[in-house]
A and B are shown apart, each in its own frame.
Chain A
Amino acid sequence: MTRFWLVKIVRTLLTLWFVLTFAFIVLRTSGDPVVALLGADARPDEVAQFRSQWGLDRPLYEQYARYIAQMATGQFGISYRDGRQVIDIIAERVPWTLLLGLVAYLIAALVGIPAGILAALKRGSTLDRLIMTFAVFGFALPNFFLGILMILLFSLTLQWLPSSGTGTIWHFLMPAITLGTFTAGTLARFTRSAMLEVLDRLYMRAAAAKGVPHWKRILLHALPNAAIPIVTIIGLNLGQLIAGAIVVETVFAWPGVGRLLVTAVSSRDLAVVQALVLVIAATMVVANLLVDLLYGLLDPRIRVAR
């Protein structure tokens, strides 16, 4: 068991190092931050002063060594854009993205899982086909398209909901629905197929033969057994949620990490981009670890095998 966790931790650290190095190389080789930050008309002496101030005039290996040392001590550096501590900038934004992500996940789970169960139970019916059609729409519809469509419908035409920003609970609705729709669609489809597989199992027939009520059979026997693929999808979809947040936060002017990433990349604010890449990578790694842990909790056979 200890070895299992040691391997996991080493693998996690290697993944994070690889991500950090990759981000460093890509950002340094794909463009010069000076033009993006100082503008097209910056004077040569202004450019030189900027490079010297931020150490961009140093050899690449020196910049890399300093960067890794900084990261190892938990220092994310200072933003080129506004001179603030990167950690403060990110800390300001994370709660907004977390909140939006949680609401979106909640919507996705509350809609997607019951819809998938219902479709499985009514397999082959019109209801099944209807649910699956909506599920396909859900994950096929690009976020930006759905978001704009909702703004035009609910803000511009019907004037029911605020078009952008934060402030009230109503501000959550459109971004959360837009962000959650993809996951809801995916969950519905996976829940359906997982449930269908479980519903045909012998223990389900045995439970029915023993006279266990229908709802009990579904909730206590079928659903826990179908949970592993659903949990996997929820874990994997975290990446999709972060990618979706980049688009959704831009469309709805939501002050989260996704929008920060867009502005930081477009202005080549290297310190912020690097820190965000690390945060996102760490989130993904932790999510995968949690999924692994959940496997063990959900299925004792996996626990024993370890």
Chain B
Amino acid sequence: MFTRRDIGKLVIGAGAVSLATPFKLASAQDRPTLTIAVDNLWQNMATINGISTTSRRIFPNFYDGLVDRDYINDENGLILAPKLATSWEQNGNVWSFELRQGVLFHDGTEMTAEDAAFTLSADRLWGPKPFEPRGKTFTDGFKRVEATGKYTFEIETERPDPYIPGKLTGYMGLVVPKKYYLEKGVDGFGQAPVGTGPYKVTTFRSGEVMVLDAFDDYWDGAPPAKQVIWKIVPEFSGRMAGLVSGEFDFIVNIPTDQEATLEGYDKVKLIRATASNYPAFAFNTRPDPEDNPLVDANLRYAMVQAIDMDTIVQALFGEATFHPAVPFNFPEYGRFYDPALKPLLPYDPVKAKELVQKSGYDGRPLRWHITRQFYPNYEAAAEIMIEQWREVGINVQAIVLDNFELVYRRPFHLMNMSMSTDFIPGDPYQPLWLDWGPTASRSTASWKTWDPTEKFIELGNIFERQTEFEARKKAYQDLSAEWQRVTPGYYMWKSVYNWAHRDDIEWKPRADGEMRMFGDYLKLS
């Protein structure tokens, strides 16, 4: 049967000649306009309420963070660099920050410590009824945030937290103007955001387009483009046609099976980068439904040992990514990463069969809830895995559903998920503790899939308090071992982001998905 893509390939096969015209960058007045065709724009561009993959790619173009991750000099972005904060130092429970002077918001007001302190304040992120409640996720242990001078402020935490600068590289470190924010309210601000970034938002229609104009008073110099237009083009054929014909300068989200087609065009460059994110599935380890056979860890072990994920990843992605054999042992964790570590549950179908027998599993179907087309190649991998499980006597049914709301509805035995790894650069805190700990939605929501064991909580509390590297690494390994003993989930591969742009543009992608249209990340010829 022909699919839309097959038809597309046939027509594309007729060949095409690109009319893309390279623009000239003669002077600041003659800067080009860049048009970027995206699959979606998040509805709200407030820094916390607007958290999503689609907004993250745009945020750094109009917001600046306090601290930056340097992906130019380190592919894992483990070098922390000054941004709006020029220096910082820790004194026990208190971190002191010094801000860059003379930085202007897009509304012309100067950024001061009042704005930075408000950005991280209890009123906004972590108080009893904050403006952006999700801020609590990132501000665990915050006790006081206060401006101590026009350009200095302090963060006090309940216990010493060496990772505060690293945490400020993320969403919560994006500074907002206090006065304007309070005037507009969160929703109003999210529709007309103001930051200190190299571009200012001049038009935002969430279902359609966002237009950014160069902010020539930017503290780090005028940006290279006069205007950057982020235009929603939901259909991939439209994005591809627009790039090839020169309507667009960049496109995002190229289906894996269309990459080769796109690469076949002249004057188009395809770029891939592995992302700080791992698609996975969670086992429902709880007796809900009552007769859930996955309550028995042996069946979960069997399911893990029945999967030949290296082969699946190779077949679906080639060399573009890899399967992390040992959970949480991810290369982006620098010194925490140990390439020699062996998995506790390696691929072993014979062992898997024995474990199935040991579990007493009676062959009843296990429901695997999967969100339709949410993670590239997930459904294809699921089909192969279901066959591999069938070979060891486990009967899994993939139930592909339209959205997460449906995926979360019980009963289910397995559920798709993904986890990011970059909340603290170079540290496994997020995927291991923030996302599986006792306050995580995975442990608390109506759709929760596990109850953290007492030992996991005890080890997690130890891990959270360790600030010296060796002690923290040991605590991380212990916590990871306890997670693997329970095996409440399975990490499949490191996500791959892809983009394409005109080949006369030099652009460097980032593992966090940000599309920076300025600085060392973009060179226009």
Contacts and interface: CB of A to CB of B under 8 A. Distances in A.
Contact of A81 (B17, B43, B133, B245): B43
Contact of B241 (A156, A255, A268): A156
B237 interface: yes
B188 A155 contact: no
A31 B405 contact: yes
Contacts of B7: 145, 148-149, 152
Given A151-B241, A155-B242, A164-B242, A49 B405 contact: no
B306 to A, nearest CB: 27
A294 B247 CA distance: 45
A259 interface: yes
B43 to A, nearest CB: 4
Nearest to B404: A40
B134 interface: yes
A151 B191 contact: no
Contacts of B44: 81-83
B340 interface: no
A164 B190 contact: no
A152 B237 contact: yes
A44 B444 contact: yes
Interface stretch (B8-16, B67-75, B219-227): B8-16
Interface stretch (A196-204, A217-225, A245-253): A245-253
B207 A255 contact: yes
Contact of B237 (A36, A92, A148): A148
A134 interface: no
Contacts of A299: none
A204 to B, nearest CB: 46
Interface in B166-192: 185, 187-188, 190-191
A92 B208 CA distance: 11
A21 interface: no
Contacts of A165: 231, 233
Nearest to A266: B403
B350 interface: no
A42 interface: yes
A41 B16 contact: no
A145 B16 CA distance: 20
A82 B235 contact: no
Contacts of A44: 441, 444-445
Contacts of B129: 49
Contacts of A151: 235, 237-238, 241
B19 interface: yes
A152 B207 CA distance: 24
A283 interface: no
A33 to B, nearest CB: 8
A156 B136 CA distance: 47
Given A35-B408, A156-B12, A251-B238, A82 B43 contact: yes
A12 interface: no
Interface in A192-231: none
Interface in A247-265: 250-253, 255, 259-260, 263
A53 B238 CA distance: 38
Nearest to B129: A49
Given A81-B44, A83-B190, A164-B242, A157 B11 contact: yes
A83 B44 CA distance: 9
B415 to A, nearest CB: 10
A260 B207 contact: yes
B234 interface: yes
Interface string B468-502: 00000000000000000000000000000000000
B52 interface: yes
B11 A152 contact: yes
Given A148-B235, A255-B208, A156 B52 contact: no
Contacts of B19: 159
A46 interface: yes
A84 interface: yes
A102 interface: no
B4 A253 contact: no
B52, B129, B133, B232 interface centre (most CB from chain A within 10 Å): B133
A260 B206 CA distance: 10
A267 interface: yes
Interface in A133-168: 144-145, 147-149, 151-153, 155-157, 159, 162-165
Contacts of A92: 205
A259 B235 CA distance: 12
A152 B8 contact: yes
A32 interface: yes
B337 to A, nearest CB: 25
B461 interface: no
A32, A36, A152, A250 interface centre (most CB from chain B within 10 Å): A152
A157 B15 contact: yes
B12 A42 contact: no
A43 interface: yes
A164 B233 contact: yes
Interface string B35-46: 001000001100
Interface string B226-270: 000001111101111110110100000000000000000000000
B134 A84 contact: no
Contacts of A36: 403-405
Contacts of B14: 157
A45 interface: yes
B235 A253 contact: yes
Contact of B240 (A46, A82, A144, A156): A156
B15, B43, B185, B206 interface centre (most CB from chain A within 10 Å): B43
Contacts of B208: 253, 255, 259
B255 to A, nearest CB: 13
Given A151-B238, A267-B43, A39 B207 contact: no
B297 interface: no
Given A32-B405, A43-B134, A46-B134, A155 B241 contact: yes
B405 A35 contact: yes
Contacts of A156: 11-12, 16, 237, 240-241, 244-245
Contact of A83 (B17, B187, B441): B187
A164 B237 CA distance: 10
A259 B7 CA distance: 24
A40 B404 CA distance: 7
B202 interface: no
A83 B185 CA distance: 10
A82 B4 contact: no
A247 to B, nearest CB: 10
Interface in A37-63: 38-46, 49
A102 B243 CA distance: 30
Contact of B187 (A39, A82, A266): A82
Contact of A152 (B185, B190, B234, B241): B241
Contacts of B404: 35-36, 39-40
A41 B51 CA distance: 10
Given A40-B441, A159-B19, 9 more contacts: A49-B129, A82-B206, A148-B7, A155-B245, A156-B11, A156-B244, A162-B245, A164-B242, A268-B405
14 contacts: A31-B406, A41-B441, A42-B441, A44-B441, A151-B241, A152-B11, A155-B238, A156-B240, A163-B239, A163-B242, A252-B238, A253-B233, A253-B238, A259-B207
10 closest A-B pairs by CB? A83-B187, A155-B241, A156-B241, A46-B133, A81-B43, A163-B241, A152-B11, A35-B405, A164-B238, A163-B242
